[in-house]
Each structure stands twice: as C-alpha cells, then as structure tokens.
Amino acid sequence: MAEIRYLYRTITLGEMEIHVRTLRDISQFSDEAGEAEALGISSSAWPQFGLIWDSSEVLASLMVSQSIAGRRVLEVGCGIGLASLVLNQREANITATDIHPEAEKFMQENTRINKDKPIRFVRTSWTDKPSELGEFDLIIGSDLLYERSHVAPLSAFIDQHASEDCEVILVDPGRGHHAAFSKRMILLGFSHSQTRTGSPEEAGSMANGRVLRYSRHA
C-alpha cells in the first residue's frame, strides 16, 4: 500500500489564519485493518474526509462571526473540520463528529498545528443508536446531503441532538436534495430560510450553493 501523502496549507478567513494538514489529493487510501470497509466506506470514498471542499470553506467563513457565547456547538460530518478549527480558535464549546475512522487523528493534529486545545470528537454515524453525545444549541455542517438517502437519517440525527432552542446552519453545494430535507425539518418543528452562497461569477463550484438555516424555540 502506498504511503499517505499530506499537504500543509494556511487558510485565511477574515483576520483569522488556520493551519491545516490534509491529504495531498483524492487518490490517497489506507485501510489495512479494514475498519473503513466495515463501516461501509469504499476505497473511492475513503479520502473525501481528508480534503477541504469549497462548501466547508463557506461554512468556516460563516463561523468567523457566528454568535457562540454560552452555546454548545456540534459539527456534523466534519471531515477535516475546518469550521470546528475556526470555532476552537474562538474558544467555542465545540464537539465534532464524523463516521470516518481517520477523522479524529487529522482533527487533533490540526489543533496541535494551530497550538489550540484538543477538540472533543465523537465518531458516530447518523444511524447509530442514541449515545451520550448530548444536545446542542448550534448545529453546523457542509455538503451533508450528498445522496437522497441521507435526508431522513440526517434530519433525525439533528432532531435527536438539537436543544429546545436550537439553530442549524448547513452549507449545501446544490446537489438537489435540500428541498426534501427542508420539508422534513419543518415537520420536526423547525422554521427554515435559505440564501445563495454567491453569484455564479463569484462562487465557482458553489455557484448553485445555498446556506440553509433552521431554527426552533421552546
């Protein structure tokens, strides 16, 4: 098996600089123990957690100024966790989750690189039995509605871990499943609004992207 190759870069978000170690490219793969395969992660999907996608940069940019005082924050399907790294640098009460068996290692290495405290990480899928993960006041994520089949488990997972007064912010690059997801969230008692991430000229691969916002109150 080929040695994993890394890329080190600095991402500037406003006045904030975040240093990250990612996979060098999408051709990387390492699953000698078969842990990822047992979790249903194919060799082609394996490296996707370890790159920074445009939607994750949009979410991270939003987190530079997002209100966090006194709020428990959860990043769902964090991957490399750029938004969590931003929030951690802001000293937020942040928990990150992902199903990928390598995500936590990358997360904690990146907190070390940034000389920040470790981020609480829980490896879980959206269909796992209820855990002690707890409830959160702000739930965030990027490019989570990758397939139509993700709509039901993701909405249920968010509902399970949302406090009575909760805000949800998801960045979707325009995969076409956000309408069905929003309908489910409304049925779960959330209000909904959305905005475009930018004009086609400005947004690149996020030309059809949306920032989806949901909220509910006691």
pLDDT in the model for residue 173: 92
What is the pLDDT at residue 1?
Answer: 47
Using CA atoms, how far residue 169 sits from 22, 35, 145, 192, 205, in Å, is: 24, 30, 13, 10, 19
Tokens of 172: 């979707």
**pLDDT single digits (tens) 160-178:** 999 999 999 999 998 889 9
Q: Is the pLDDT of residue 72 over 70?
A: yes
87: closest CA among 57, 56, 70, 66? 66
* Tens of pLDDT, residues 107-163: 999 999 999 999 999 999 999 887 789 999 999 999 999 999 999 999 999 999 999
Look at domain 6-216 and name its CATH class: alpha beta
Domain coordinates in residue numbering, the chain: 6-216
Model pTM above 0.85: yes
Taking the C-alpha atoms of residue 70 and residue 78, their distance in angstroms, rounded to an integer, is: 21
